[in-house]
Amino acid sequence: MIINKFAIFAVALLAVFSLKAQSSAPAQRIIALSPHAVELLFAIGAGDRIVGAIDNSDYPEQAKSLNFVGNYQGIVIEKIIALKPDLIITWHSGNKINQIEQLKSLGLKVVDSDPTSLLEIAQDIRLLGRLTGLNVSAETIAHKFEQQLNTIVEQYQTKQKISVFYQLWSKPLMTISNQSWLNLFIEGCGATNVFATSTSAYPQVSIENVLLANPQVLLIPKDEQTRSHDLFNWQQWQHLNAVKNNHIYYPNGTLLHRPTPRVLTAMSEMCQQIDQAREN
């Protein structure tokens, strides 16, 4: 009887160690449920481990041929289970919460990636490095990102402040406040968001609100999802400072709205546009 008890204990102990080893082993079959997670995984050298992704994962080019398991409307749980992932990278802001909880209830390893600041992009890069065992590569990329960000911010922080209206959407007319991580681009460029103190992260505003704020610059990010911007004609408001002085700019929204290292390319471009208005 004693021997049997020891045998049972040994088997149980072995099972515990086995589970710990499995959970700490580098992920080899990854499902990434956001375009930014796909891009980050490719950046650190784990792109070949992605067995499933979400629609609109389009960078780098190889991402377009991934096996898609859902879109912004939801994911197909059955597809995910069939792919036998050892890691699922979720996106709290973009995935349905009930589906995330369902994945967890199935015993699948789920880790969230949802950067809400520029510095958190670097943190998530390091996180993915730890999960994949690619720490060195991830640290190199994260450190480079932080250095480039510091360089951009230092370049513009001492310059004269200039007021900016960021048109996130046109119909209805929407912008951002300091509760949105996108506001960090404006601040990083040494500018002031005219709706920074709004109570909502993404407030809906009226034309009258914008006219009263009278921004010196209009920033209208361009990407596939914001074509409706073209339907809004700011030229009819010639007394608006930004319109009168021809300071309407169209930064790359596709890059600005995706939290990956490429966001700094778009931020640098936006800072230059704001600087152009500042000098004029």
Looking from the CA of 233 toward its CB, the CA atoms found within 13 Å total 2
In the prediction, which pLDDT does 53 show?
Answer: 97
Domain 2-142 shares a fold with domain 157-279: yes
Contacts of 65 (CB under 8 A, 6+ apart): none
DSSP 46: -
In the prediction, which pLDDT does 11 show?
Answer: 37
In the prediction, which pLDDT does 273 show?
Answer: 96
Tell me the C-alpha distance between 125 and 113, whole Å: 9
* Tokens linked to 230: 């073209």
Q: What is the pLDDT of residues 38-85, one digit of tens each?
A: 999 999 999 999 999 999 999 999 999 999 999 989 999 999 999 999
pLDDT band at residue 170 using 50, 70 and 90 as cut-offs: confident
Fold of 157-279: Rossmann fold (3.40.50)
Domain ranges of the chain: 2-142, 157-279
Top mean pLDDT of 3-12, 16-25, 26-35 is at 26-35
Q: What is the pLDDT of residues 244-262, one digit of tens each?
A: 999 999 999 999 999 999 9
Tell me the C-alpha distance between 135 and 146, whole Å: 16
Give 186-246 as a DSSP string: HHHTT-EETTTT-SSSS-B--HHHHHHH--SEEE--BSGGGGGGGG--GGG-TTSHHHHTT
Tell me the H-state helices in the chain. Answer: 2-24, 35-44, 77-82, 97-105, 118-132, 135-156, 183-188, 207-213, 241-244, 253-256, 263-279
In the prediction, which pLDDT does 13 show?
Answer: 41
* Tokens linked to 60: 């780098």
Q: What percent of the chain has pLDDT over 90?
A: 83
Which superfamily does 2-142 belong to? Answer: Nitrogenase molybdenum iron protein domain (3.40.50.1980)
pLDDT band at residue 223 using 50, 70 and 90 as cut-offs: confident
In the prediction, which pLDDT does 59 show?
Answer: 96
Tell me the H-state helices in 58-108. Answer: 77-82, 97-105
**Closest to 40 measured CA to CA, from 104, 120, 97, 124:** 124
